[in-house]
Amino acid sequence: MSARHCSQCGTRMAYAGIGGRQREQCPACGFIAWRNPAPVGMAVIEHERQLVLILRRDPPLAGYWAPPAGYVESGESVPEAVQREAREECGLEIALDGLSGVYSQADVDVLIVAYRAHSTGGRPLAGDDAAEVALFDRGRVPLQPSPTAGSATDRWLHQVILDVTAPWRTAGG
């Protein structure tokens, strides 16, 4: 039995076999609480020939260097969210240069859409949930250990960060 209540009628939700999976359904009105991953936009930004990374202040991966990223809000497209997050987290206006990758994992409740980008204005300044912002030359991106504790999201996000920053890990990149 679920501890959540139906958003339609307030009845306690129960699990039922629907579409070959256990899903929360209201026994009174039949409402199904579909669990879909939330979209996150990520910007792999080049600024003055260097990679922009923020030091994450909040989970997941608090204390790790990562590209600016955040949830896509209602009323904006993924590219608009990527540009907004860059502005909020590192103070830069950016132009998107193309898709870097789309990342999902079955046991993680987000889907990341990562773009390559370059700065068009502003100056690097930590904001929003960034403790710090820094610029890294090719071949100088910090090697961060895989999290040994934490959630599946922490371990998965660490792999995403390794993937999107891979072109910056070698001096020839």
The answer to whether residue 93 is catalytic is no
Q: Which member of 73, 76, 80, 132 is catalytic?
A: 132
User: What's the rounded Cα separation, in Å, for the pair 132 and 142?
Assistant: 14
14, burial (CB in 10 Å: exposed 0-12, middle 13-18, buried 19+): middle
What is the per-residue burial (b if ≥16 Cβ within 10 Å, else e) of 88-102? ebbbbebebeeebee
> Could you tell me which of 52, 89, 54, 64 has the C-alpha nearest to residue 155?
64
Taking the C-alpha atoms of residue 22 and residue 169, their distance in angstroms, rounded to an integer, is 42
Which residues have a catalytic role annotated? 132
